[in-house]
Structure 1
Amino acid sequence: MLRGEKVVIMDAELNKKALGIARNYIGSVAWPTVVLTLLVCSLFIICLVLFATGYLSVWLATPLISVLTYMSYTTLHEAVHGNIHGSNPNLRWVNDLCGYLVGPIISVPYNSHKHEHFAHHRYTNIAGKDPDFIISGMRTGLFAALLTTLKFFYVQNTFFYKQHWRSAKLKERFTYCLEIQVSIGWRVLTIALVEQPGIAVVVLLGYFTGGFFTAYWFAYRPHFPYDNSERYQNTSSLIMPMWMKPIEWLWLGQNIHSIHHLFPRVPFYHYRALHRDIEPVLRAQGTPIIGIWSRKPITVQE
């Protein structure tokens, strides 16, 4: 047997081992994600109401809206992969409802994101095929990062129209258009009807800040430097130091993005545990396990 053949067989065995472990985290109804969805949606509305009635300042309401905007994407992301209803098809409506509820917050249509995000998984880091590759433009500076964020969300909102409109059923087209209208409409109405000074800052800057954080930390940093499309090497595990653990909880564990790309049916709240369970496989397969700030390899997790 040739050396190359031995390597392929070993890699296949390692992947089979990791898959066997990952199956322990797949299939259950993701009630924690349902709770997250209800909390994010409720707190988002409460925050806007408290600002509109003068109980929250613009300086407090804006960052709160930003954080909730970022957190809303985790629900959308989980719903796209069908992770909320798990292996229970009778609860698919719960999965879809969660996706539709948070779509207007992060301003990404759930019906469209299914197509865009699966294309991203299929062609991760391949220029011209991966629709998220546009986010690699963040590397050239702050202004480019801000502009790229706008382009990124433009892609998220237009991918369905450009790639699937002709082949889509009438119901899909109607749902897509309705989602776009709701996403834009609630913002326009809120800014127009709320008389509290600074409402546009809260609604627009709060959204953009949360969207920028999502684009940078959820999409850009885990895939940087965008030069590898191999299954175990196209996404990083960004390890936080111990003092950042409370922030990692708020981050919803999305810094361990390698686990998601390897096993997308695993709910986000299991990323850390599965990463710990299959870490020897990840290291053997060359998965980047690096410091979140230094980007240097972490030999022993902090």
Structure 2
Amino acid sequence: MQEELADLNKQAIAAAIGHMGKVAWPTLVLTFLVCSLFIPCLVLFAYGYMSVWLATLLIGILTYISYTSLHEAVHGNIGGNKPHLRWLNGLCGYAVAPIIGIAYASHKHEHFTHHRFTNVEDKDPDFRISGMGKGPVRAVLTVLWFFFAQNAFFAKNNWHSAKLKDRVLYVTELCVSLGWRGLIIAIVDRPGISVVVILGYFIGAWCVSYWFAYRPHFPYDNTKRYQNTSSLIMPSWMRPFEWFWLGQNIHSIHHLFPRVPFYRYHALHREIEPILRAHGTPILGIFSRKPIKVPQS
């Protein structure tokens, strides 16, 4: 049985390689759109062309989407396997970091630790998000603590060993991320600007915490490679929302093959689904969380 699973794993790796290594043009376009829409959204609100609630919603959506660019940059997926284009990862990562409020310099270290120790309570830095489902107050506090821990990871674990350049970048990122929000609130003379900037950010941060971290890893009780993250299958009528989720409902693919870009998750999942099932990957209904059976031919 173990030999059979090992052979299936080799087949999955071979399939995944076919989805890796190219320049991630969709991610570059996504990053450009997020960055080019974020500031105009704030400007339109400031000049009275957009209501406070519409602006808050749009800022929340753009904040959520921005994390995908940061996430892809951390994994080095944007420049592909081309050494001369690795700078694209840093460009995109640093561009969206002030929007999502997570320092790229810190997240590079924190996120790889999460992958190395997924669901290990005392080692996985994302494990704290497991308490998110224990009531609304806990959900809010957990998100706030989660984002604080994301940014503090570098200072806590990497500061003393980091080069001066990396320290400067980290501190600069934190200052820019906090500074632009305070500056906008101070200079925009329109009621509701604090709601747009702060609540809009929290909506996006909550969505990242819930859809990227909490739901795919729940119930946080398995550390095995093929079983520590779920594939959450949506009904066909939820396709528009699935597009907004940007593939993270198929988070099992990301943890198995982090160099596969997000827009290839579904294609690879379809290709290797029998292998996933053989390895015991949780393939669940998004609402019921019950196993999805193999469709009958």
TM above 0.5, yes or no, is yes
Structure 2: state its 5+ residue gaps. Answer: none
1:109 paired with 2:103, answer yes
Residue 261 of structure 2: aligned partner: 267
Report the residue type matching 1:106 in the other structure: I
Partner of 2:65: 71
- Cα drift, residue 253 of structure 1: 1.2
| 3-state SS of paired residue (2:86) | helix
In the other structure, the counterpart of 1:144 is 138
Q: Aligned AA for 2:81?
A: S
Is the CA contact (8 Å cut-off) linking 2:211 and 2:245 kept in structure 1? no
How do 1:59-208 residues align onto structure 2 when only pairs under 5 Å count? 59-208=53-202
**Equivalent position of 1:36 in the other structure:** 30
Q: How far apart, in 1, do the equivalents of 2:161 and 2:286 lie?
A: 41
C-alpha distance in 2, partners of 1:253/1:229?
22
Give the drift of 1:209: 0.9
1:139 CA drift (Å): 2.5
Partner residue in 2 for 1:49:
43
SS in 2 for 1:124: coil
Unaligned runs of 5+ in 1: 1-6
Q: What percentage of residue pairs aligned between the two structures are identical? A: 68
Q: Name the amino acid aligned to 1:161.
A: A
Once the two structures are superposed, what CA deviation does each residue of 1:216-267 show, in whole Å capped at 9, x if it has no partner? 1110010000000000000000111000001111111111100000000000
Counterpart CA distance in 1 for 2:173 and 2:227 is 35
Tell me what 1:4 maps to: none
The 1-side partners of 2:87 and 2:277 are apart by 38
Which among 213, 230, 235 is matched to residue 229 of structure 2? 235
Q: Please say if 1:293 is aligned against 2:287.
A: yes
- Counterparts of 1:181 and 1:300 in 2: how far apart (Å)? 50
Which amino acid in structure 2 is aligned with residue 290 of structure 1? Answer: L
Residue 219 of structure 2: SS of its match in structure 1?
Answer: coil
Q: Which runs of 4+ in 1 moved over 2 A?
A: none
- Which residue identity is paired with 2:160? R
Question: Does structure 1 retain, via aligned residues, the 8 Å contact 2:74–2:108?
Answer: yes
In structure 2, the partner of 1:3 is none
Distance 1:94 1:140 in 2: 39
SS in 2 for 1:207: helix
TM-score normalised per structure 2: 0.98
Structure 1 distance, partners of 2:180, 2:294, is 47
Between Structure 1 and Structure 2, how many residues are aligned? 295
- Quote the Cα distance in structure 1 between the aligned partners of 2:3 and 2:123: 29
Deviations 1:84-137 (A, max 9, x none): 001011111111100000000000000110000000000000011000000001
Residue 249 of structure 1 is aligned with which of 215, 229, 243?
243
Greater mean deviation of Cα atoms: 56-65 or 8-17: 8-17
Q: Match of 2:122, SS?
A: coil
> Which amino acid letter does the alignment assign opposite residue 16 of structure 2?
A
Inter-partner Cα distance in structure 1 for 2:43 and 2:53: 15
2:11 aligned partner? 17
Amino acid across the alignment from 1:182: V
Give the 3 Å change call, closer, same or farther, for CA 64–300 of structure 1 in structure 2: farther
- SS at 2:18's partner residue? helix
**How many Å apart are 1:51 and its aligned residue?**
0.4
> What letter is aligned with 1:147?
L
SS in 1 for 2:248: coil
CA RMSD for the aligned pairs? 0.8
Is 2:191 aligned against 1:211? Answer: no
Give the distance between the partners of 2:2 and 2:279, measured in 1 at CA: 11
For residues 84 and 171 of structure 2, what CA distance do their matches in structure 1 show?
27
Distance 1:166 1:8 in 2: 43
